[in-house]
Chains A and B, each alone.
Chain A
Amino acid sequence: MATRIHPLLILFTVLVYVFLLGPLIIIFGASLSDTTYLTFPPQGLSFRWFQNIWDISAFRRTIVTSLQMAFLGTAIALVIGIPAAYALNRYRVTLPGWLSTLFVLPILVPEIVIGFSLLRSVTVQAGVPVWYALLIGHTLLVIPYVIRVVSASLASFDFSIEEAAISLGSPPARTFFTIVLPNIRSGVIAAFILSFITSINDVSVSLFLTGPGVSTLPIQLLAHMEQFFDPTIASVSVVLMLLTILVMIIVERTLGLAIVAK
């Protein structure tokens, strides 16, 4: 029999959830307001502030750039991260213990320090063009997520299946793609989603690495906020929220939401 939970505790939890979700509902309402200033409840209903996102070229460009960074950065991180995770699990004895700490460094080191350091070394001293420097920053940010999540998936993978396949004559590379990867599928997808969202929402690294014509959505949102404190900010926020919901639906369809609770 489960222990009874004190009603005050339940009330508190309800309040916490109101606290968490309320502001997002308010932003949603404010985005639909037919006024030039931010207000809730909305006065008049209109989609014009969503239209405005499309009208402002800076938003169009930065949405594209953000998507490019997220897709490419995650793709590159997957390409170099999956082998690393595999090596950590399969060849653990041959690799030094500090290696897994190294792979987690981008999470440990403060993002703002990473951004500043990359600006100095990559953009200024090495002269790397803005777009590539930004891509480097985003890829770096998500590598630990890829390695950690895929590693966790590989930890529960029975390597004897792989060895059996190899001993039956299957070449190691092909075995990897046909035996190992399908079994860690959920891990790879989870890593992709986690990395994608991290990249889309990044501020501290992009802050230093953006340049003329090359900026990301959160940075553009910050700039817009300083100039126009209007419902466009709310509508962009709603778009981001919808994107998140979309991603969560995809997760639910492919993996089941239990993955989130892990």
Chain B
Amino acid sequence: MPRYQRLALSSISAAALLAALPAGATTFTISWWGFNGDKMQEIIVNPFQELCGCEVVFETGNNGDRLNRLAMRSGAGVDVIYLTDSYSQAGIEQGLFQPIDRAQVPNIAELYDLAQAPQGEFGPAYTVGRIGLVYDSARVNPPITSWNDLWRADLASSLSLPNITTTAGPMVVLQAGRHAGVDAYTDEDATFAALAELAPNIVTNYNTGSEMINLFSTGEISVSMTQDFTLGRLRDAVPTIEWATLTDGEIAVLNTINIPTGSENVELAHQFINFVLSADIQRQLAEQGVDAPVNATVELSPEAAGMWTYGQEQIDSLQRIDYSQLNPARDRWLDRWNETFGM
């Protein structure tokens, strides 16, 4: 048989062979950030795969990316989706999620009050975090003690801020407003003028936690604003990283887990949510530096508790954001953000 025909035939059969790779077991699709993927694999995915006899597949990316893709597919394609509360709020408003049948998720009863039903009948929170500032104590002196320190002249070209499209992004705008002494919602001009003053300090803005960690570990930045879930890996990469003790207070963030309307494995999804809310898994995640526990029955050692938002008292002390006001503002702010930092 002539060469080209052989080539064509072998190409097609190779492709057919590849296409026939194992697809036997049920596929359970999780949409999450991909951060700490290896630890999640160990603590959550592998045990769950054994429990359900299914194969777990991921869609990764940041909140905006994944929520938009879900919307594009009209709620289909994934079985559970991890999002921060501001984005799950947007998802609920877009009608992308189905209510959770709490009878199938008994572990919800063990959670702190604010985590049980933060968004009504939709998904519970599986972790609580706070947004604050981190800095490399080996390169930044004097240490950071206030949000206003971001504007310090000695921090030129050392800063990376979360992009407006991330969870913490809009908080930057809010803090800039406070720095300018105005309410960011009502006086956007003064707020963004304050942000413009920040521009010389910024190297580049980041879109994912891992990007921010990379920037620290390669020495490109020495200060950033981030959520505390990054602290574990950040300290592994750069041991001199400190979480700044801020005199003007930190912001609470709840991460939720939801079931999209187009999920193909609804029962399995409920089982999964119950699994990740269990005390055992929550404790492991906390001890391994992945997420703070919201299961109130989890008890952590003082060192483990040190890096998390932990304990009723601390949780009660955080500021909460009103997303019904923030979300619409964020869309407005995206353009002004681009103009301020992208010019």
Contacts and interface: CB of A to CB of B under 8 A. Distances in A.
Contact present between A and B (CB < 8 A) = yes
Interface of A: 37, 58, 64, 67-68, 71-72, 74-75, 78, 119, 123-124, 130, 177, 181-182, 185, 188-189, 192, 211-213, 223, 226-229, 254
A71 B58 contact: no
A185 B69 contact: no
Interface of B: 2-5, 7-8, 11-12, 14-15, 18-19, 21, 27, 29, 31, 34-35, 37, 57-61, 69, 72-73, 77-78, 207-208, 210-211, 214, 217-218
A251 B183 CA distance: 66
Contacts of A185: 2-4
A130 to B, nearest CB: 8
Contacts of B77: 130, 211-212
A86 B289 CA distance: 62
- Would you call the interface of chain A mostly helix, strand, loop, or mixed? helix
B266 to A, nearest CB: 17
Contact of A212 (B3, B18, B19, B78): B78
Contacts, number: 80
A74 B59 CA distance: 27
A9 B4 CA distance: 43
A67 B18 contact: yes
A150 B61 CA distance: 40
Given A75-B8, A181-B2, A229-B214, A213 B57 contact: yes
A53 B214 CA distance: 20
22 contacts: A67-B15, A68-B18, A71-B11, A71-B15, A71-B18, A74-B11, A75-B11, A78-B8, A181-B4, A182-B2, A188-B4, A188-B7, A212-B57, A212-B59, A212-B77, A212-B78, A213-B57, A213-B58, A226-B207, A227-B37, A228-B210, A229-B214
B208 A189 contact: no
Given A188-B4, A212-B58, A226-B210, A124 B72 contact: yes
B210 A227 contact: yes
B279 to A, nearest CB: 28
Contacts of B3: 185, 189, 254
Contact of A213 (B5, B27, B218): B27
A75 B69 contact: no
A119 B72 CA distance: 9
Contacts of A124: 72-73
A172 to B, nearest CB: 18
Given A75-B11, A185-B3, A189-B4, A212 B31 contact: yes
